[in-house]
A = this chain, B = another copy of it.
Amino acid sequence: MPIRIVLADDHVLVRQGLRSLLEREKFQVVAEASDGQDAVRLSETHHPDIAVLDISMPTLNGIVAARELSRCCAKTKAILLTQHEEDQYIYEALEAGVKGYVLKNQVASDLIHAIQQVSRGEFYLSPGISRAVVEAYRSKSDRPVDPLTVRERQVLQLIAEGKSTKDAASLLGISVKTAESHRMRLMQKLDIHETASLVRYAVRRRLVEP
C-alpha cells in the first residue's frame, strides 16, 4: 500500500511539478490544495499519511494548517515546504506538531527522504536548518512570539492579503462582527491602529509575501 499524500501549494504549476516527482516515486497523491483551508478540509476527507504544505499560502499558512491538522487528523503527519532557510518560524512549526521541514532549494530526493522517514514515525529536517533549529531552541526563553492567538493570526493574514473584514469572516465561516472583534483585539495587542501598519507587520512576520 503506497504512502498517501495531500499536497498543498498555492502555485498550481509548482504543485503539479511536485506531484509528478512524487508519483514517479510511487507515492500516491490523493488530493491537491491551493490554500491552507483546503489542505485541512481535504485531509479531513482523505485521511492521508502525509500532508506536504507550503508555508506561504493564502487563507491559512502552512504552519497554521499544520496546527489544525494535529487537532483534527492526528494520523496525518505534516511536512512543511519553505523557500527561506533563515526562517524564524521553525520553532513555531515544531510547536505546531510538524514532523518534517524541507527547504525548496534542496534536491527532490530530500523531499522523498522526508516523506519516507516521517511516514515511519521519525522526524526529518533538511540539511542546513539544524543550525536554525538549535538557534530557535536556544532562544526559546526569550523568543519574541507575537502575542496573537491562532484565530487572530488567521484574521491578520487575510487582512494583509487584501481581504476586507467581511471577506475574512465568510472565508473563516464566522460572523462579520466576530471577525471585527478579532481584528480589533489583535490591533490593540500589537498597538497598531491602521491597516497599513498591520500589513507591514504581517510581512515582517512572514505571514504574507510582500
Q: Please list the residues of chain A having a beta carbon within 8 angstroms of any beta carbon in chain B.
A: 10-14, 16-21, 24, 34, 81, 83, 102-108, 110-111, 159-164, 193-200, 203-204, 208-210
Residue contact A110 to B196, C-beta cutoff 8 Å: no
Partner of A12, one of B18, B105, B193, B203: B105
A108 CA to B9 CA in the complex, in Å? 14
Residue contact B196 to A162, C-beta cutoff 8 Å: yes
Q: Which residues of B contact A196 (CB under 8 A)?
A: 159-163, 195, 198-199
Q: From residue A7, how far is it (CB to closest CB) to chain B in Å?
A: 11
Residue contact B195 to A104, C-beta cutoff 8 Å: no
Partner of A13, one of B110, B199, B210: B110
A198 CA to B14 CA in the complex, in Å? 26
